[in-house]
Amino acid sequence: MTEKRVSEGGCSCGNIRYRMTGEPLIVHACHCRQCQRITGSAFVMNGLVRKSDVELLSGTVGKIHFKDTIHTAFFCPDCATYVWSEYKSGRFDDCWFVRVGTLDEPDHFPPSVHIFLESKQPWVTIPPEVPQFPRFYRITDVWEESSIARMGADWNPPDRT
């Protein structure tokens, strides 16, 4: 049996600390306009992690729901660092999209896939061996079988995006 990697992270001011007790199911580099706007950057790195694999160690997490979306972001009320998001769509309701940059060792989690390239900044270069999609993708085409299995026997990934 493979040992789980335990990773910790937190916000910029140190008030929020959390522990991630499981590997991300997948790591997205999302280039959508909303991610660009809320991060002030060209894209965001999100590790998709089961909520049961994330433990809040300290601090209080605030949240904001983005109007007319399925997206709620969770952040430190003191320094405004976004630590994770959730997307209530049915298929990922039991997952956090953990901001890889808030991990103490973010270099352990490079992107598995680049998504929403239709709005990618033209100066961003993506290695050709990393899967990339104009919008989203079919889960069964991209995820490793072990990640699908970790979501549980009752989880049925949709065939369409």
pLDDT tens digits for range 50-89: 999 999 999 999 999 999 999 999 999 999 999 999 998 8
Question: Do the domain assignments include residue 53?
Answer: yes
Boundaries of domain holding 30: 7-148
Question: Do the domain assignments include residue 85?
Answer: yes
Entry pTM: 0.90
Question: Do the domain assignments include residue 155?
Answer: no
Query: Which contacts (CB < 8 Å, 24+ apart) does range 106-110 have?
Result: 106/45, 108/5, 108/7, 109/24, 109/27, 109/45, 109/47, 110/27
Question: Do the domain assignments include residue 158?
Answer: no
Question: Do the domain assignments include residue 83?
Answer: yes
Question: Do the domain assignments include residue 153?
Answer: no
List pLDDT tens digits, range 111-125: 999 999 999 999 999
In this structure, what CATH number is given to the domain that contains residue 121? 3.90.1590.10
Total of domains in the chain: 1
